[in-house]
Structure 1
Amino acid sequence: MSRLTNHLVVISFDCLSSLDFPLLEQLPHFNKLLDQGSYCKKVETIYPSVTYPCHTSIVTGRYPKNHGIVNNTLTQPGKASPDWYWHRKHIKGTTLYDEAKKAGMTTGALLWPVTARANIDYNMPEIFANRKWHHQIPVSLLNGSKRYQLDLNRRFGHVRNGLNQPELDDFVLESTIHTIKTKKPQLLLVHFVDLDSQRHYHGFSSDEAMDAIKRHDNRLGRIVESLQEAGIYEETTIAVLGDHSALDESKAIKLNVLLKEHGLIDTDSKGAIQNWIAYCKSCDGSAYIYLKDSSDLQTKEVVKKLLDHLLIDERNGIEKIYSQEQAAATGADDQCAFMVEARRGFYFNEEHQGSFLNNITDQDVREKRFTHACHGYSPKKEDYTTILLLAGKGIQRNVVVPSMHLIDEGPTFAKLLGLDLGETDGKVVQDFLTS
């Protein structure tokens, strides 16, 4: 399969929404990209619409049930900070970067989710120290390209302030620019989280979120400039995308409180989970209900009655209940017993103590117990789509694709690089491409 481009740079601005499009049109670097390339401002995300499943769908063209990354974090009841799906080993099947590597291309990834210990030439994976005895730098080094990361930390470590934003994205930006100029990878995946963080802790339309978009515009401009300085701009395709949108919320639903009250979760004298029969695993705007024994039909019926009862009163915050089969039909985890969707203004939390519903205060958010906005909701929610902008080699100019799916991005990127992702759920969006 022939290539349409020599270099592909995929820039993910986490939580960039279709609702942001009017602002993007006013910002110089986004506007220039729109003028020189093509776009879709109505990209339907996947379910659950959280970062790790989304980014895996982007590089595989598959739904979560098929690529295996069904949530951000693993189901580990009782663990205060569950581990994330950090590692490439969790992904079923191939990825864009695997196929690029097989084809002899140089590859790079900067904080791209689910790339720890992936076969990527220049890899700084998104992974953090999740135990008291862990330290961030060794954890990153052990799971990515050691010399590459050491060099980036030596050069730009002073820019970073732990995991805080916007400093973390500023560090990623400097690392991206340096990588483009010195390594010139043929596939580069970059993940920026500034906007997502601001929306979580300040609200969807907050001044802080709008400022983050403006910072992203500057970041985009600097990346384009680095491609020009590296002498590869004319041979490069730039893809700018979001993974999901977000919705403001003011109430947290704690289904595990009810499961505990019904004897389905046991705790010790200190309140720690000792055992569970059924468990609510949050995906923020949605949640899975898992049974420890999937063949336990009696418990399944108890949980169903509990959920059906909650559905009657809108004040409980439940909008829809999916059976296992219905959840699988959306592309979500086919191993869950149920999946539940929150109403606007609500989201799910895994706490198993206190009241079933929590009104969220500013202090809760400052203490990072809850958030002011989140994602994870159904892709069918109104005004909940994201965007894709494409420009450069192999891309038509001034084509507007009215709608597409997140799972179409991987096959389209593969076609640009002359690669084949095999069996995918998405398809190539041919209208974007020059041939």
Structure 2
Amino acid sequence: MERLTDHLIIISFDCLSALDFPILKGLPHFQELLAHGSYCKRVETIYPSVTYPCHATIVTGKYPNRHGVVNNTLLQPGRESPDWHWHRKSIKGTTLYDEAKKGGMKTAALLWPVTANADIDYNMPEIFANRPWHNQILVSLLNGSPLFQLQMNRLFGHMRKGLNQPELDDFVLESTLETIKRKPDLLLVHFTDLDTQRHYHGFSSEEAHAALRRHDDRLGRIVGALRDNGIYDKSTIVALGDHSALDESKAVQLNTLLKEKGFINVSHRGKVTDWKAYCKGCDGSAYVYTKDPVSTQEVKALLERLQPDPANGIESILTGEEAARKGADEHCSFMLEARLGFYFKDALDGSFIHTITPEDVKHKRYTYGSHGYSPEKENYSTIFMAAGKGIRPHLEIPSMGLIDEGPTFARLLGLTLEDIDGKMIEEVLDI
């Protein structure tokens, strides 16, 4: 199949929303991208609309229950900091970067979710030290490209302050500019500055707007690096979001009720020793898993008692079968959607409904903005912009899905993603 571009640069600005479009139009580098390329400001995300399932969807063209990454974190009841779906092995089937590698292309990924131990030439995976005895640099080195990462850390490691933003994205940016010198055929980059600001300061906060301006500068620097390395005219630049976000001020902590009613047993140290039902949060939604038919019926009755009262924060209850039809985990017994102003937490202690205080947010125990909600929520679309080689200019696509991005990217590289849920957006391609 004919290749439409020499270099595909995919930049994910985590939590970039369709509601940001009026602001992006006024920022110089986003403005330039929009002026020369095609865009869609109504991209439907997936369910649950959290970062890791979204990024696995972007590179597979599949819904979460088909690619296997059904949540950010693993089901590990009671663990204070559950492990994330960091590793490539979490994804079933092939990905865009696997197909590119099979096609003899040079690949690079910087903090792209679910890429630990992936077969990527220049790989700095998003993975963090999640045990007291783990060392962050060592964990990253062992799960990505060691020499490449050592070089990036030597050059730019001083910029980082742990996982704090905007320092982390500044480090990722400098590493990206350095990686462009290697002229990869496929480059995947993930920036989380905006997502962090929205979580801790709210959707429309000044901190979020400042992050958008920083992202515009980052986009401009990447375009500049493509020019400096003589590959701008042979490149396709994509800027996209994975989900939007909504403000919230209350956390629904269903496990506190499940524990009270004997579905979860804990030791005197507070460790979960056994459970018959457990609520696994996805922020704006939650899975409820049960272990036996009796528990399933009892939990169903409990949820049906709670749901009608708006103060309990549960907008709707899906069965496992209904969740599966929306692309979520068919192994759950129920999937809950939060009402506006609420989100779900896995906490085992405290009140069932927790009203969030500035102190909670300051210590990063709770947030003021969340995602994970249903794609059917109003004003909850994300955004897609592409320009450069292989892209038709001046085209607005009325609507598309996150599942359509992978097959479209594959076509740009002259590749095919098999067995997908999405479709190629052919009208944006200059075939």
TM-score by length of 2: 0.99
Say if 2:264 is the partner of 1:268. Answer: no
User: Which structure 1 segments of 5+ residues have no match?
Assistant: none
Alpha-carbon separation, structure 1, partners of 2:390 and 2:98: 21
SS in 2 for 1:260: helix
Q: How does 1:63-212 map to 2 (within 5 A)?
A: 63-181=63-181, 183-212=182-211
Q: Give the counterpart letter for 1:315 in structure 2.
A: A
Alpha-carbon separation, structure 1, partners of 2:366 and 2:85: 21
Q: How does 1:326-341 map to 2 (within 5 A)?
A: 326-341=322-337
Say if 2:392 is the partner of 1:392. Answer: no
Q: Deviations over 1:1-24 (max 9, x none)?
A: 111111100000000000000000
Alpha-carbon separation, structure 2, partners of 1:241 and 1:191: 10
Aligned length: 431
Q: Give the counterpart letter for 1:84 in structure 2.
A: W
Q: Deviations over 1:81-126 (max 9, x none)?
A: 0000000011000000000000000000000000000000000000
Give, in angstroms, the shift of residue 270 of structure 1: 2.6
Q: Give the counterpart letter for 1:162 in structure 2.
A: G
Alpha-carbon separation, structure 2, partners of 1:302 and 1:236: 57
Alpha-carbon separation, structure 1, partners of 2:293 and 2:273: 22
Q: Deviations over 1:178-212 (max 9, x none)?
A: 0002x100000000000000000000000000000
Q: Which residue of 1 aligns with 2:348?
A: 352
Alpha-carbon separation, structure 2, partners of 1:111 and 1:253: 30
Give, in angstroms, the shift of residue 272 of structure 1: 2.2
Q: Which residue of 1 aligns with 2:25?
A: 25
Q: Which residue of 1 aligns with 2:251?
A: 252
Say if 2:429 is the partner of 1:430. Answer: no
Alpha-carbon separation, structure 2, partners of 1:221 and 1:271: 49
Alpha-carbon separation, structure 1, partners of 2:59 and 2:320: 26
Say if 2:374 is the partner of 1:375. Answer: no
Alpha-carbon separation, structure 1, partners of 2:390 and 2:122: 25
SS in 2 for 1:205: coil
Q: How does 1:250-329 map to 2 (within 5 A)?
A: 250-291=249-290, 293=291, 296-329=292-325
SS in 1 for 2:286: strand
Alpha-carbon separation, structure 2, partners of 1:178 and 1:312: 55
Q: Give the counterpart letter for 2:349 in structure 1.
A: Q
Q: Give the counterpart letter for 1:85 in structure 2.
A: H
Q: Deviations over 1:6-60 (max 9, x none)?
A: 1100000000000000000000000000000010000000000000000000000
Q: Give the counterpart letter for 1:268 in structure 2.
A: S
Q: Give the counterpart letter for 1:24 in structure 2.
A: L
SS in 2 for 1:216: helix
Give, in angstroms, the shift of residue 320 of structure 1: 0.5
Alpha-carbon separation, structure 2, partners of 1:250 and 1:51: 21
Q: Give the counterpart letter for 1:384 in structure 2.
A: Y
SS in 1 for 2:178: helix
Identity %: 66
Give, in angstroms, the shift of residue 297 of structure 1: 1.3
Alpha-carbon separation, structure 1, partners of 2:56 and 2:99: 14
Q: How does 1:229-244 map to 2 (within 5 A)?
A: 229-244=228-243
Alpha-carbon separation, structure 1, partners of 2:170 and 2:273: 42
Alpha-carbon separation, structure 2, partners of 1:7 and 1:334: 37
Alpha-carbon separation, structure 1, partners of 2:267 and 2:236: 56
Q: Deviations over 1:292-312 (max 9, x none)?
A: x3xx21111001011111111
SS in 2 for 1:147: helix
Give, in angstroms, the shift of residue 267 of structure 1: 1.1
Give, in angstroms, the shift of residue 264 of structure 1: 0.3
Alpha-carbon separation, structure 1, partners of 2:69 and 2:387: 29
Q: Which residue of 2 aligns with 1:363?
A: 359
Alpha-carbon separation, structure 1, partners of 2:82 and 2:294: 28
Alpha-carbon separation, structure 2, partners of 1:267 and 1:353: 11
Give, in angstroms, the shift of residue 241 of structure 1: 0.2
Alpha-carbon separation, structure 1, partners of 2:160 and 2:366: 25
Alpha-carbon separation, structure 1, partners of 2:72 and 2:330: 16
Q: Could you list the runs of 4 or more consecutive aligned residues of structure 1 that deviate by over 4 angstroms after TM superposition?
A: none
TM-score by length of 1: 0.99
Q: Which residue of 1 aligns with 2:224?
A: 225
Alpha-carbon separation, structure 1, partners of 2:169 and 2:125: 14
SS in 2 for 1:312: coil
Alpha-carbon separation, structure 1, partners of 2:358 and 2:370: 15
Q: Give the counterpart letter for 1:20 in structure 2.
A: D
Alpha-carbon separation, structure 2, partners of 1:242 and 1:354: 34
Q: Deviations over 1:219-272 (max 9, x none)?
A: 000000000011010010001000000000000000001111111000112322
Q: Give the counterpart letter for 2:103 in structure 1.
A: A
Q: Give the counterpart letter for 1:231 in structure 2.
A: G
Alpha-carbon separation, structure 1, partners of 2:391 and 2:315: 40
C-alpha RMSD of matched pairs (Å): 0.5
Q: Give the counterpart letter for 2:361 in structure 1.
A: V
User: Which structure 2 segments of 5+ residues have no match?
Assistant: none
Give, in angstroms, the shift of residue 353 of structure 1: 1.1
SS in 2 for 1:26: coil
SS in 2 for 1:298: helix
SS in 1 for 2:396: coil
Q: Deviations over 1:121-165 (max 9, x none)?
A: 000000000010111000000000000000000011111111110
Q: Give the counterpart letter for 2:342 in structure 1.
A: F
Alpha-carbon separation, structure 2, partners of 1:225 and 1:358: 47
Alpha-carbon separation, structure 1, partners of 2:381 and 2:357: 28
